[in-house]
Chain A
Amino acid sequence: MVVLELEESSLLLDEKLLRFMDQLELLEEKRAALNSLIEQGWFSMSKARYSMGNKRVSALQYASEIEPLVCVHARTLDNGEVDFCIERSKQKARDEAGKEARSIEDIGPQEEGVRRRNKPKNNVPEKKEGEEASSEKAPEVTPIRKSDQNLQQDPLKWFGILVPQTLKQAQSSFTQVIELSAEIATLQTAILNSRQELKQCRKDKPILQEVSATRLEKLTD
């Protein structure tokens, strides 16, 4: 019985080792792809600078406040591994963004805006005066807010509408990099997990070997 256990444990150890090696190989491949994509992306940006002019592809072209288009969700699985997955937020339509802006109350002077006040009706009975007063205090604001609409924008548009092909190539390289990064992160946690399991198995193996050796001795006696 113990011999069988030992054999099973050895097979399991072999399996885990092979899986570990496969994961390492996959990690190496993905890391190489990631490095090459990043290099490609930066180089495509240099090519874009060559066509457009050095100062037209620089930190000046993006706002200091931007909302991310991609979020990373991390969730821990049952076996202790962490899974990282990418979620792209859908770009809001301009109208929607405008409506959301209205729902946020902004106190204080606004740089750009057109304020439209509710005109009070002239022939108002006295009992409604209170209501009118309160509605006058909350005028309808229809601001022309460029900043909110720009918070979630395709980053390609930061550099202009008519951008060269090379900038689009740079963007696609970096998009692939994001996806690959999540896969690599997941794979790395899986590898750490595998390594842990491997250590555990290797610890257990000599114990099993000892137990089976003593039992064999007893049988032969």
Chain B
Amino acid sequence: MAELSFNKDHGYLEGLVRGMKAGILTDTDYHNLAQCDTLDDMKLHLQSTDYGKMLSSSEEDLTVSLVDSKLRENLVTEFSCLRSNALPPLSTFLDYITYSYMIDNVVMLITGALKQRDVAEVLPRCHPLGAFDQMAAVGIARTPTELYSAILVDTPLAPFFQEAVSDTNLDEMEAEILRSKLFKAYLESFHSFCKSLGGATRDTMCPVLEFEADRRAFIITVNSFGTDLSGADRSVLYPSCGKLYPEGLQLLARAEDHEQVKAVADCYSGYKIIFDDPEPESGCKTLEDRFFEQEVKLNTLAFLQQFHFGVFYSYIKLKEQESRNIVWIAECVTQRQKSKIHNYIPIFK
């Protein structure tokens, strides 16, 4: 009976996150932002939203990259506020959210080291939500086994290295494979954690995570065409906690072109619409755009129920989409490509 006991430990934070959700930009806000001609105009408009003086306080030149960094800082502040007040099992749940950023940071540090970039240069660009103590040492490792045994064994990412350890030297291909393997283990672990929590958390989170798993499988397949990653190589990268497991994943591993991937998607009603041919008026939306749209739809559903942890995950993901939207509008404004400015994804109508 979650309704009876949830508020004791987590009621304040759920209230907080619902309050923050009310500040998510609306259609009017996006409409105003799209009318801007310069980044300064956008800064002015953002001041009247929950973002407030976020951009005004900075003395650096206003660039799209700065806007992105400030939006990210804002999200990190909100998340830290939630995490610092969280009790188990919410604290574990929130930690799970940070692991995906940790994985991205690890790969960014490895690729930075491959390009002989100074650690001091790469560290500030890492996502703050995925910070961990041993970050500075990651670039030294030469193989995934070394990375695990010397550096990451004491971090929360250690359990995800089960299938990722190998003695091949870390180059671009290995870094990509490492990213996918770690993410697969992470997603499957997160999925079983949410299942174990049960109740409304399981009902809202499991479909979202299953969608994420299937999305990764599709994107890995489509992006691997024309690269050195073969079907057999990529089949070990597909997370198995989605709807595509096991038959869909087997078919995807054998797919050689976009048409075959589309054929696999056609067997699943949720994914058929994503791969369908676009209407001529909607402009050319990429596959990733359509997946983002679907993700937004699934995440907004979390707020229809109470007394569960899904709202926290969904809030973070929706805020990320909002950041992407604002940065997209900023890019269109600076590059004077106003015709494509409406390709952002509105969140709450």
A residues in contact (CB < 8 Å) with B: 39, 42-43, 46-47, 49-51, 53-56, 58, 60-65, 112, 144, 146-147, 150, 157-158, 160-166, 168
Give the distance in Å from the alpha carbon of A125 to the alpha carbon of B5 in the complex. 90
- A214 CB, nearest partner CB in chain B, Å: 61
On chain B, the residues within 8 Å of A157 by CB distance are 172
Give the distance in Å from the alpha carbon of A172 to the alpha carbon of B287 in the complex. 19
Give the distance in Å from the alpha carbon of A164 to the alpha carbon of B114 in the complex. 21
Contact, CB under 8 Å: B142 / A112: yes
- A44 CB, nearest partner CB in chain B, Å: 10
B residues in contact (CB < 8 Å) with A: 64-65, 68, 104, 108, 111-112, 114-117, 121-122, 125, 127, 142, 169, 171-173, 175-176, 180, 219-220, 222-224, 226-229, 286-289, 324, 327-328, 331-332, 335, 337, 340
Contact, CB under 8 Å: A55 / B335: no
On chain A, the residues within 8 Å of B286 by CB distance are 47, 51, 164-166
On chain A, the residues within 8 Å of B227 by CB distance are 161-162
Give the distance in Å from the alpha carbon of A55 to the alpha carbon of B331 in the complex. 14
Contact, CB under 8 Å: A54 / B171: no
Contact, CB under 8 Å: B176 / A65: no
Q: Which of A54, A60, A146, A160 contacts B112 (CB 8 A)?
A: A60
Pick 22 A–B contacts, CB within 8 A, sort by A. Answer: A43-B331, A43-B340, A46-B335, A50-B328, A55-B68, A58-B65, A60-B125, A61-B115, A64-B115, A64-B116, A64-B117, A146-B114, A146-B171, A160-B111, A160-B176, A161-B176, A162-B180, A164-B286, A164-B288, A165-B222, A165-B286, A168-B226
Contact, CB under 8 Å: A160 / B172: yes
- The interface residues of chain B, by DSSP majority, are classed as helix
Give the distance in Å from the alpha carbon of A62 to the alpha carbon of B115 in the complex. 6
On chain B, the residues within 8 Å of A61 by CB distance are 111, 115
Contact, CB under 8 Å: A162 / B224: yes
Give the distance in Å from the alpha carbon of A202 to the alpha carbon of B117 in the complex. 60
On chain A, the residues within 8 Å of B289 by CB distance are 51
Identify the 5 closest CB pairs spanning chains A and B, nearest first: A162-B223, A51-B288, A63-B115, A46-B331, A161-B176
Give the distance in Å from the alpha carbon of A58 to the alpha carbon of B112 in the complex. 11
On chain A, the residues within 8 Å of B114 by CB distance are 146, 150
Contact, CB under 8 Å: B335 / A164: no
On chain A, the residues within 8 Å of B287 by CB distance are 165
- A19 CB, nearest partner CB in chain B, Å: 35
- Additional A-B contacts beyond A50-B331, A55-B125, A160-B111 (6; CB < 8 A): A46-B331, A47-B286, A50-B328, A54-B68, A158-B115, A160-B172
On chain B, the residues within 8 Å of A39 by CB distance are 335, 337
Contact, CB under 8 Å: B116 / A63: yes
Give the distance in Å from the alpha carbon of A157 to the alpha carbon of B176 in the complex. 11
On chain A, the residues within 8 Å of B173 by CB distance are 161
Contact A54:B288 (CB < 8 A) given known A46-B331, A157-B172, A161-B227 = no
On chain A, the residues within 8 Å of B229 by CB distance are 161-162
Give the distance in Å from the alpha carbon of A158 to the alpha carbon of B111 in the complex. 8
On chain A, the residues within 8 Å of B111 by CB distance are 61, 160
On chain A, the residues within 8 Å of B115 by CB distance are 60-64, 150, 158
- B2 CB, nearest partner CB in chain A, Å: 35
Give the distance in Å from the alpha carbon of A42 to the alpha carbon of B331 in the complex. 10
On chain B, the residues within 8 Å of A164 by CB distance are 219, 223, 286, 288
Give the distance in Å from the alpha carbon of A144 to the alpha carbon of B115 in the complex. 15
Contact, CB under 8 Å: B117 / A42: no
Q: Which of A51, A60, A146 contacts B117 (CB 8 A)?
A: A60
Contact A163:B223 (CB < 8 A) given known A47-B286, A60-B122 = yes
Give the distance in Å from the alpha carbon of A64 to the alpha carbon of B121 in the complex. 12
- A204 CB, nearest partner CB in chain B, Å: 48
Give the distance in Å from the alpha carbon of A140 to the alpha carbon of B165 in the complex. 31
Closest to B118 in A: A64
Q: Which of B127, B171, B219, B337 contacts A162 (CB 8 A)?
A: B219
Q: Which of B104, B117, B171, B335 contacts A63 (CB 8 A)?
A: B117
On chain B, the residues within 8 Å of A168 by CB distance are 226
Give the distance in Å from the alpha carbon of A56 to the alpha carbon of B172 in the complex. 14
Contact, CB under 8 Å: A55 / B288: no
On chain B, the residues within 8 Å of A162 by CB distance are 176, 180, 219-220, 223-224, 227, 229
